[in-house]
Amino acid sequence: MISQEVSRQLYSHLKDVRGQAIRDLMEKPVLVKEDVHVSKIIGTMLKENSHEVFVQMSDKTVYCLNMRDTLVARDIHTMKSSTIGKRIPSLTPLDSIGNAARIMSLHRLRALPIIDEKSQEVVGQLSSKRILQYIFDTFVKKKINFDKRIIASDLMTPELLTIGPEDKVATARNIMVKDMIDHLPIVEQMQDGKNMVVGILTSSDILQTLIPSERIARDAMISDHEQHRLELAARGIADRNLITISPNETINSVIDLMLKSNSTYALVKSMDSVLGIITFRDIIALLGEQVESEIPAYIIGLPEDPFESELVKSKFTNTIKLLYKISPEIVEARCKIKIKDITGERKRYEISASIISPYKRYSYTSKNEYDIAKIFDEMSDSFKNQISRKKSSDKQKESVRYSPRD
């Protein structure tokens, strides 16, 4: 559990990272031409090992497609990028890493386009992996080591969605699209009744099944090929070489492992049990904006609209203050805001939050509402109920423990 002092130290150490201009972190952008077929986009993603590709339209606007977007295509050989691409905010070379991290979290992206302000042309991109590398290099350069004070279990996302080894690839694809995730551990029940993770399926694994081999002619057999592969059991295409880490490994070790193994995730395991998963997003969330409260509290993915941004800060701060009065042992609060989808001018949000005490982590995930104020009101009620139930349970245990015997 991260103490208040260590949490403040981490935020302070990451201050320079947060304010660093992205111009020195630019990479070559992965661009595709306007209105190309989805099959070509998938091929580019797999060739470039890129989760996103960008399309610069004739009017200079920039659209993005990620791996999850391509999974919804019914026919990858006829559907074009314009039907599933979405417009996203662009960066300029002088934008900060902190702002980039906010946009990445809000839009659930691993890379963002960088444009030249004069020409409005895409001149580069910034990836979440590059941000991770910069965080790690900063820790090494400044000789920052939090020892066992910030560990994998503090960073991970618990309560994983999983599938069984015989579940179909189509089922995995539907879960990834619906819940906007890219990693699905495959869990098998053993003879002793215990559950064991035997592999992991990623959006990249599924995309590779949709691209037919060179032996398959580009005719009617293509759709048969795609349908056949989606009916396969998940274990057939899963990666069995799992990237795992113990819950007590330090933040430095977690980042180092993900970078050296060129992995987008690390499963947190204790014995044969998987406790959670750490992805790029979980580490980038450390760059969230701190809000004023009695305890360390952070928000990653603040809305771009100034009114909504201030509303979120106010609602989250008030919730924390209320919970702190109910339960003074709370030591930290974190909130992640993501866009689930966009309909016209309306945005549907998914908001997850954690309230952490020395003995328990309280969690909340919204039901994808459009009304962001309503979400935070429901969040406050949910946390109040969780903490009240915990206190009531503790009182009952104390009553039983000390009740006189007949």
> 297: domain CATH number?
3.30.160.100
In the chain, pLDDT over 70 holds for what percent of residues? Answer: 89
Rounded to whole angstroms, the Cα distance separating 334 from 320 reads 10
Residue 179 forms part of a structural domain: yes
pLDDT (0 to 100) of residue 158:
82
184 has a pLDDT exceeding 80: yes
Neighbours of 216 (CB within 10 A): 12
**Cβ distance 38 to 30 under 8 Å?**
no
Residue 347 CA to its chain's centroid (Å):
18
pLDDT in tens, 218-244: 433 344 555 567 788 888 888 889 999
Rounded to whole angstroms, the Cα distance separating 172 from 199 reads 13
Residue 232 forms part of a structural domain: yes
Last residue of a domain, one of 283, 299, 330: 283
- 3-state class of 333 per DSSP? strand
258: buried, middle or exposed (CB in 10 Å: 19+, 13-18, 0-12)? buried
Query: In terms of domains, do 128 and 156 share one?
Result: no
pLDDT in tens, 112-171: 999 999 999 999 999 999 999 999 999 888 888 776 677 888 888 887 889 999 999 999
Query: In terms of domains, do 193 and 73 share one?
Result: no
Q: Please compute the mean of the pLDDT values over residues 63-72 and round it to a whole number.
A: 90
Query: In terms of domains, do 157 and 274 share one?
Result: yes
Tokens of 208: 């590779």
pLDDT (0 to 100) of residue 8:
74
217 has a pLDDT exceeding 80: no
Give whole-number Cα distances, 136 to 103, 163, 185, 210, in Å.
Answer: 21, 33, 26, 35
> 53: domain CATH number?
3.10.580.10
Neighbours of 313 (CB within 10 A): 17
**Cβ distance 355 to 383 under 8 Å?**
yes
pLDDT (0 to 100) of residue 62:
92
57 has a pLDDT exceeding 50: yes
pLDDT (0 to 100) of residue 219:
38
| pLDDT greater at residue 74 or residue 199 | 199
Query: In terms of domains, do 20 and 92 share one?
Result: yes
Residue 186 forms part of a structural domain: yes
406 has a pLDDT exceeding 50: no
Give whole-number Cα distances, 229 to 78, 210, 224, 237, 240, in Å.
Answer: 19, 7, 9, 9, 18
Beta strands in 3-130 (DSSP E): 31-32, 52-56, 62-66, 86-87, 111-115, 122-127
Q: For residue 287, how many C-alpha atoms fall within 13 Å in the half-sphere facing its CB? A: 26
Query: In terms of domains, do 300 and 185 share one?
Result: no
* Phi (first) and psi of residue 399, to 5 degrees: -65, -45
214 has a pLDDT exceeding 60: no
Last residue of a domain, one of 240, 258, 283: 283
Query: In terms of domains, do 31 and 67 share one?
Result: yes
Residue 361 forms part of a structural domain: yes
Query: In terms of domains, do 64 and 123 share one?
Result: yes
Say which residues have a Cβ less than 8 Å from residue 365's Cβ, sequence separation at least 6. Answer: 350, 351, 352
**Cβ distance 233 to 166 under 8 Å?**
yes
Query: In terms of domains, do 301 and 386 share one?
Result: yes
Query: In terms of domains, do 276 and 292 share one?
Result: no
Its domain, for residue 213, covers 152-283
pLDDT (0 to 100) of residue 64:
93
Query: In terms of domains, do 76 and 189 share one?
Result: no
User: pLDDT band for position 98 (50/70/90)?
Assistant: very high
Rounded to whole angstroms, the Cα distance separating 23 from 281 reads 21
User: pLDDT band for position 316 (50/70/90)?
Assistant: very high
Residue 125 forms part of a structural domain: yes
Rounded to whole angstroms, the Cα distance separating 100 from 300 reads 11
pLDDT in tens, 249-268: 999 999 999 999 999 999 99
Say which residues have a Cβ less than 8 Å from residue 79's Cβ, sequence separation at least 6. Answer: 37, 38, 73
- Structurally, the chain folds into a number of domains equal to 3
Tokens of 103: 């946009």
pLDDT in tens, 278-306: 999 889 988 888 887 778 889 999 998 88
Residue 147 forms part of a structural domain: no
Query: In terms of domains, do 266 and 366 share one?
Result: no
pLDDT in tens, 344-396: 778 889 899 988 887 788 999 987 678 999 999 999 999 999 988 876 776 66
Last residue of a domain, one of 133, 166, 183: 133
Residue 140 forms part of a structural domain: no
pLDDT (0 to 100) of residue 120:
93
Residue 144 forms part of a structural domain: no
Query: In terms of domains, do 327 and 277 share one?
Result: no
Average model confidence (pLDDT) across the chain: 85
Side chain identity at residue 255, one-letter code? I
Rounded to whole angstroms, the Cα distance separating 114 from 50 reads 16
pLDDT (0 to 100) of residue 394:
65
Please report, in angstroms and rounded to a whole number, the separation of the first and last CA atoms in the chain. 41
Residue 209 CA to its chain's centroid (Å):
24
Side chain identity at residue 166, one-letter code? E
Query: How, if at all, do strands 52-56 and 62-66 pair?
Result: antiparallel
